[in-house]
Structure 1
Amino acid sequence: MRLNELDAKMRCFEISNDFEILPEIYMIARLDGRGFTKLTKEIHPYKKPFDLEFSNLMVETSKHLMNCGFHILYAYTQSDEISLLFHKKETAFSRKTRKYISILAGEASAKFSLLLGSTGVFDCRISQLPHRELVMDYFRWRSEDALRNSLNAYCYWKLREENKTATQAFDFVKGMSISNKNEFLFKRGINFNDLPLWQKRGIGIYWKTFEKKWINKDISKEVITKQRELIINQELPMKEKYFNLLNDIIPFT
């Protein structure tokens, strides 16, 4: 059998499950650290419940993903997860989900591992959202999840400091209301409202265009050029102000 015949015969098995996302559908990739609980507790014991060094690793990994060949408008990271919003007109790899998932998981794992100095692996999934309102809802969902996780984490680790077992601490926090959790922390000297915003709301990363003035010596004239820079926002607003921020980032067409 000739190579071209063999190629045609075998290629169908490789691409039989290829799925292409329809045009004009918003795509959001969410990456999660695989086995990061063990990684951040045992192999690299970071400060609990939040560690700025670990957060910086996630930010740098997010920045790398925004520069790895796709048209990504917005990255959001909290805990060990990263969400990436693609431009609505993204057409790379014919919008094949297997290409996005494999490339992004590989890029994130490689960058994070290089920064960490040991192996850190991410998985990836793609959400397909037909309109902007669902995009807004997606990031509101992740922001609310960050807030809930932050409050729970502070309560959990405070209980662990008080010699509760992991199971006891988990069950205790699970049965508490939000107000009781806040009161629990306040009695132990922690005002949840005063904690750094990045710990409660996550971190947003997006492009912003600036005008830069410089002197062109060849024509002895001041020239204005536009440059893009990545903005790292560790103080994301809430509710309507957050939606306004996303509205500025996400084009309507």
Structure 2
Amino acid sequence: MKFTELDQKLRVFETAHDLCVLPGLYMVARLDGRNFTRLTKETLDLEAPFDSGFRDAMVATVQHLMNCGFRVMYGYTQSDEISLLLHPEEQTFARKLRKLNSLLAAEASAKLSLILGSMAVFDGRISQLPTVDLVVDYFRWRQEDAHRNALNAHCYWMLRKSGDSASMATQKLEGLSVGDKNELLFQLGQINFNDLPHWQKRGVGCAWQSYPTAGINPMSGEVSQGTRTKISIEVNLPMKEDYREFVLNLMTR
């Protein structure tokens, strides 16, 4: 059988279930680390519950994703996850979900692995959101998740450092209210959760920022003004309604 005949016969099995995101829908990609607990606690010797070096590696991965061929308007990272808001007019690979999911996860995995010097793997999924409000709610949701995870992580590791086993620490935290967990931190370690670094509780945002530049016309020697863009890193993100306004402003630039 000739190649063209084989190609026609078999390619349909690859593409029969191709799904494309409809025009007009916002796309938010979420990439989650696979087995990152083992990576960060066993393979790598990182500080618990948060390590600034790992944070920087995740931020660098977000920056790479914003520069690797996709029109990413906003990147956000907390813990072992990354969320990317793609431009509503993004047409790369005809908005095919299998392409977007596989390539974004692959780019993130490759970049973080190179930075850490150890294999790091992400999976990916795309949220298809019909309204601006849902996009904003998505990022508020992930930030609220960051806040909850940060409180739990600090409490868990405070108990571990006080001598509790993993199972004992987990059991003690079950059923505790937010107030109880805040009190636990203060009683065991004199830690006020509100005073901890914002990036631990709120995550880190990456957005494009324009800035003016001056150049010289090589023919006339005249100075000309222009603009360039760079990625701005925000480690002190606002919260709640202020964060809502922050994301809205990014979407309406």
- TM-score above 0.5, yes or no: yes
Task: For 1:59-78, list aligned pairs within 5 A.
Answer: 59-78=59-78
How many angstroms apart in 1 are the aligned matches of 2:123 and 2:203?
Answer: 19
* Other-structure match for 2:147: 147
Q: How many angstroms apart in 1 are the aligned matches of 2:243 and 2:155?
A: 26
The residue type equivalent to 1:37 in the other structure is T
Does structure 1 residue 101 correspond to structure 2 residue 110?
Answer: no
Partner of 1:81: 81
Question: Which aligned pairs between 1:93-172 and structure 2 lie closer than 5 A?
Answer: 93-172=93-172
Equivalent residue letter for 2:220? I
Q: TM-score, normalised by structure 2?
A: 0.97
* Distance in 2 between residues matched to 1:195 and 1:229, nearest whole Å: 28
Structure 2 stretches lacking a partner, 5+ long:
none
Match of 2:206 in 1: 205
Equivalences for residues 193-232 of structure 1 within 5 A: 193-216=194-217, 218-232=219-233
Task: For 2:104, give the aligned amino acid.
Answer: L
Measured after TM superposition, the shift of residue 9 of structure 1 is: 0.4
Any unmatched runs of 5+ in structure 1? none
Distance 2:70 2:218 in 1: 35
Per-residue CA deviation, residues 170-212 of structure 1 (Å, 9 max, x unaligned), is 1211221101111111122111111100000000001011111
Partner residue, 1:16: 16
Q: Shift in Å at residue 220 of structure 1?
A: 3.1
Letter of the aligned partner of 1:152 in structure 2? Answer: N
Provide the identity percentage: 52
- Considering only aligned residues, what root-mean-square deviation do their CA atoms show, in Å? 1.2
Write the letter of the residue equivalent to 1:191.
Answer: N
For residues 221 and 159 of structure 1, the distance between their equivalents in structure 2, rounded to whole angstroms, comes to: 66
* Cα distance in 1 between the residues matched to 2:212 and 2:130: 34
Deviation at 1:215, TM superposition (A): 3.8
| 1:183 paired residue number | 183
User: Secondary structure at 1:223's aligned position in 2?
Assistant: strand
Alpha-carbon offset, residue 217 of structure 1? 5.2
Deviation at 1:45, TM superposition (A): 2.1
What letter matches 1:227 in structure 2? R
1-side partners of 2:178 and 2:240: how far apart? 18
Q: Does 1:30 align with 2:14?
A: no
Please state if 1:247 is matched with 2:225. Answer: no
CA separation in 2, counterparts of 1:195 and 1:117? 29
What secondary structure does 2:46 align onto?
coil
Partners of 1:196 and 1:15 in 2: CA distance: 47
**2:43 maps to amino acid:** I
Name the CA distance, whole Å, in 1 between partners of 2:214 and 2:13.
55
